[in-house]
Structure formats: structure tokens, C-alpha cells
Amino acid sequence: MAYRDFQHFLDVLKSKNELKTISEPLSPYLEITEVADRVMKAGGPALLFTNPAGAPHRLGTPNPKSAVLNNPSIDPAARPQGNVQYSYPVAINTMGTRKRMSLALSCDDFEEHAERIAGLLKPELPKGPKEAIAALSKVLELKDAPPKPVKNAICQEIVMMGDEVDLTKLPILTCWPEDGGPFITLPLVFTHDPNTGKRNVGMYRVQLHSKNTCGMHWQMHKTGMRHMEEAGAQRKRIEVAVCLGGDPSYAFGAISPLPPGIDEMMFCGFLRRERVNMVKAKTVDVSVPADCEMVIEGYIDPSERQLEGPFGDHTGYYSLAGDFPVLHVTAVTMREKAVYPATIVGQPPMEDGWMGKAVERIFLPMIQLTVPEIVDMNLPVEATFHNMAFVSIKKKYPGHAYKVMNAIWGLGGLSFTKFVFIFDEDTNVQDLGEVLFRIGANCDPGRDTLHSRGPVDQLDHASVAEGFGGKIGFDCTHKWSGENGFSRDYPKLITMAEDVKAKIDSIWPKLGL
């Protein structure tokens, strides 16, 4: 089921008792975060704050770059004072459980999309009419993928340009005490390659600097940054649209590690089984989803920078302030009675944990297409995904684990993985207890490790340098004779005889245990 818009998704969540409405006046400055953080960590419902009110936005970056290193909290007396009533409800934690993440992707469980992708990537010759029809139906799913241009859109029911633009009227969250200001945390950032015209949709935090300027946190490895650099080489501005809301699959598309050449909006059409309606923005040459709640249009001068941050990040620590591009807002459009979508990040588990887990499961078939020996993979939420990977493989030869380690470090976003653990195919890498057992039983740190270096997440504060650091892989497989200097007999894993297990299975209900 494709959603008409974001509020349709909220209605569905409410009908399934997955949405809690909060009418208590709470401030976008810290207070909404504190409620949402407690609910997220408890696995609680999506939240709709219908009465956001409180202190006005604290703009600018009052702290020097080193402030968050030594200053545990901002003096309460320095917090903004006064009271502002915001006109737009705030929706948060809408994808904060497996069930809601699956609902956001228009399915009962997001593993269904992994199966759909696997079927497209590994087609088999049909053995009869029924299989031929089934195979054809898979291909026909792609006909609904390309976006569809339209002329009218709910995201443009209200249009504000020039002096009418005032982003301070939006309930943009200041999430944590040391944050440099309010941040848009669930944006869909649309840009186009100035050379090819190819669209990119990414999710990059956006800091509110003033009523009509924002900081754009384009990291060094991101496509948005590449587009801006190409525009700068041509001495041109780059036009940008920051979209909020719409079908929740759009947010997933924005964070998805898609292969080059796959358009995010086409991928969203595949996920929702219905084409995405796109409308031309009012002041920039960018098309946006017609069903968005809000759209912020503007441009970036590649030569201009302003201090952005600090920001309480998904790493669980503050990312420090730095100089980043400035978005000059030329228009804000929105639907009537719009809802402001948001999320928060911080020490896991958070809502983004389930977004990341869906990425892991849905894109596993694509990873297996490149590295077919991979059986399963687990990127633990507690390690913020990009830091650690547990991988099971079909081991075929000595040193196979090292081949897979190096393959992972060469795969898109997986190249940021700092710790890679490789296991035999009979290991359930989703079971942390079994993972720890196999690490302790099968890995000799002096023999079974591989040290490397390469790109890491730019937000990784522990790395040797910004965006560059060390990697380590652990071979936790059973060792073969002669493998990497291993010359002893390798013992067998303790397992019960199959006939005995079958007998006990058959009489288990009688045992009353």
C-alpha cells in the first residue's frame, strides 16, 4: 500500500495503536527530545506533539569548536527565555520499531523487499507457464518505479517567498544542550549533478542559522558534496530543495546505499509499488515529491562557508563544529495544516537504529551479488552500524575470511566499517551470544587478525584523522590444516545426534517442560 502522504501514514499508525498524541505544551528546545528519547529507548509508540510551545530558537553557534570537549552542559541561565506557540504539530519516532519501519515501507515485514530484490537480481529460467507468469510479474513491478511529473501538488498549497520566508516559525528541534542551534533532522535533500543532471536525494542535517539561511552538513564522502564541488568548478551556484514528509519510503530512499545510476525516487516507486508524483519547485529547477508536508527551496554558493554545529550525533557523542556550506532560502512551500516530521539521534538505541537495520536486510542481496560467499550479516545497532560487522560465509579455501574482509572494505558505505568479524556459515550472526562464543572459541588475536587503513565516517571522532583511520578484521572461522600457520588438529563443535534430537522433539510435549 502506497501512502497518499505523510499524514495518511500517521492515520494508519493511529489505526494500529502505534501513534500516541501528546497535547501537553512542550518545547522544541530540548523538551521534545527528552520525551522522545525515553520512548525510543523503551520501544514505545510514534509520537505526535500537537502543541509545541516554549522558548524561541537560539540561533548561531555560541560555543567554540572545543566547547563540547570540556563543558558538560550549557548554563541553564544561558538558555533562551520567553514563549513561542508554534503552528505545526511535530511527529517523531514514526519508524522506531520493526513493525513501524515495515509499515513505512508498505509491507508486513521489510525482509519482503529483500526477497523482491533477490528475485530481480538472480532470475531463474521458468520451468513452466506458472513460473513464467511469476517471473513476468516481478519484471512488471518495475513499470511503476519511474517518477511521474505532475502540475499540482499539496506541498505547494501555501507558498512563501522573499520577505515572507521565516524558518524560525517552524518547530525545528534543538535536540541536545550543547547543540549549536536548531537542526532539521529528517530532511530529504534534493540536488542535481551539474554535469549530467542526475538527481541525488540524501539525508544531511540542516542547521537553522537565521530566518532564511541554513547550514548544510555535506560530509566529504557524500554525493551532495560532489555535486556542489562540480558546480564550484564551473563557478556556479547549486540549487537545492529540502523536503519534509511525504510517503515515509522517501526517507528510506534518502539513506539507502543505492548503486550508481539508480535514482532514489525510482527506488521509492519500487518499494511502494506506485510511481512517485513529482512537481517542479517554485524558485529552483528541482522537482520534489508532490505529497511532502513542507519544501525549503534555495541555493548554495560553493565558495561560502559558515560555522555549523556542534551536534549531538548518532555516534552518541557531539560532532564538533566546523565550516560547512550555507543554504540561502528563496522559498518555503507547504500543505495547509502541515505536520513537521522529525527524529533525534544520540546514544543508541534510537529510531535510526531500525532505519539502519532495514537498510542492512534489504540491501543484503545486493551485497551478496558482489560477494556471493556471504551468508548473512549483522551490523549491530549498539555499534552505530558503520563501526562493526558480523559476517557469516561459506568458507571454501584457506584465507577466505581475509578475502571477504577486504571485499567489505571496498563496498560503498561498508568501507567505513572499523571492525569486521568473519564466521562460518553455521553461525547465527544475529545472535550476540553465539557471536561472542565463536569469537572466543575460534580466534587467536596473534594470528587471526588483519590490520588495514582507509576511509571512515567523517563523524568518527576516534579516527587518526578526519575521515581516515584504522580497520581490523577477525577470522573467527574454523581453521583448516596449514591455514595461516595453523598445524594442529582442529576439534569438532559439540552437537547432538540428529536421531536423538528428532526423538526428543516428538515426545517433548509429554515431558511437561
- pLDDT one-digit tens code per residue, 222-252: 888 999 999 999 999 999 999 999 999 999 9
Residue 421: the pLDDT is 97
Q: What is the pLDDT of residues 5-45, one digit of tens each?
A: 999 999 999 999 999 999 999 999 999 999 999 999 999 99
pLDDT surpassing 60 at residue 137: no
List of long-range contacts for 121-128, beta carbons under 8 Å, 24+ apart: 121/365, 121/366, 121/369, 122/365, 122/369
What's residue 142's pLDDT?
A: 66
Residue 1 vs residue 189, higher pLDDT: 189
- Asked if 144 and 275 count as a contact pair (C-beta separation under 8 A), the reply is yes
Catalytic residue among 5, 37, 313, 460: 313
**Confidence band for 76, pLDDT divided at 50, 70 and 90:** low
Confidence class of residue 483 from pLDDT cuts 50, 70 and 90?
confident
Report whether pLDDT(158) > 50: yes
Instruction: Evaluate if residue 55 carries a pLDDT over 90.
Output: no
> What is d(CA 164, CA 85) in angstroms, rounded to the nearest whole number?
18
pLDDT at position 54 is 87
Cβ atoms < 10 Å from Cβ of 222: 17
313 as an active site residue: the answer is yes
Residues 98-120: tens digit of each pLDDT: 999 999 999 999 999 999 999 88
**Domain 6-341, what architecture?**
Roll (2.30)
What's the pLDDT score for residue 61? 53
Q: What pLDDT does 140 receive?
A: 47
pLDDT over threshold 50, residue 70: no
Question: What is 371-485's CATH topology?
Answer: UbiD C-terminal domain-like (3.40.1670)
pLDDT reading at 202 higher than 70 = yes
Q: How confident is the model at residue 128 (pLDDT cuts 50, 70, 90)?
A: low
Phi/psi of residue 474, nearest 5 degrees: -125, 125
Question: What per-residue confidence (pLDDT) applies to 383?
Answer: 84
Q: What is the mean pLDDT of residues 190-216?
A: 95
Q: Which of 204, 188, 210, 215 is closest to 324 using CA atoms?
A: 215
Under 8 Å between Cβ of 181 and 243: no
C-alpha to C-alpha distances, 339 to 7, 51, 107, 158, 498, nearest whole angstrom: 8, 11, 24, 13, 57
Distance of CA 22 to the CA centre of its chain: 26
pLDDT in tens, 446-455: 999 999 998 8
DSSP for 280-312, written as a single string? E-SSSS-EEETT-SEEEEEEE-TT--EEE--EE
Does the structure show a pLDDT above 90 at 127? no
Rg (CA), the chain: 25
C-alpha 294/C-alpha 243 separation (Å) is 6
What CA–CA distances, in Å, run from 348 to 4, 199, 248, 418, 462? 31, 32, 22, 18, 18
**Predicted TM-score of the model (pTM):** 0.88
pLDDT in tens, 305-359: 999 999 999 888 999 899 999 999 999 999 999 999 999 999 999 999 999 999 9
Q: Could you give the CA distance from residue 300 to residue 272 in angstroms, rounded to a whole number? A: 32
Spans of all domains in the chain: 6-341, 371-485
Terminal Cα-to-Cα distance of the chain (whole angstroms) = 43
Mean pLDDT to the nearest integer, 90-98: 97
**pLDDT for 135 beyond 70:** no
The pLDDT tens digits for 267-305 are 999 999 999 999 999 999 999 999 999 999 999 999 999
HEC states along 388-412? EEEEEECCCCCCHHHHHHHHHCCCH
Give me the mean pLDDT over the 184-190 stretch: 97
Q: Taking 80 as the threshold, does the pLDDT of residue 499 lie above it?
A: yes
On average, the pLDDT of the chain sits at: 90
Looking at residue 74, its pLDDT comes to: 53
| Confidence class for position 64, pLDDT limits 50, 70, 90 | very low
Q: Which of 83, 89, 82 is nearest to 22 (CA)?
A: 89
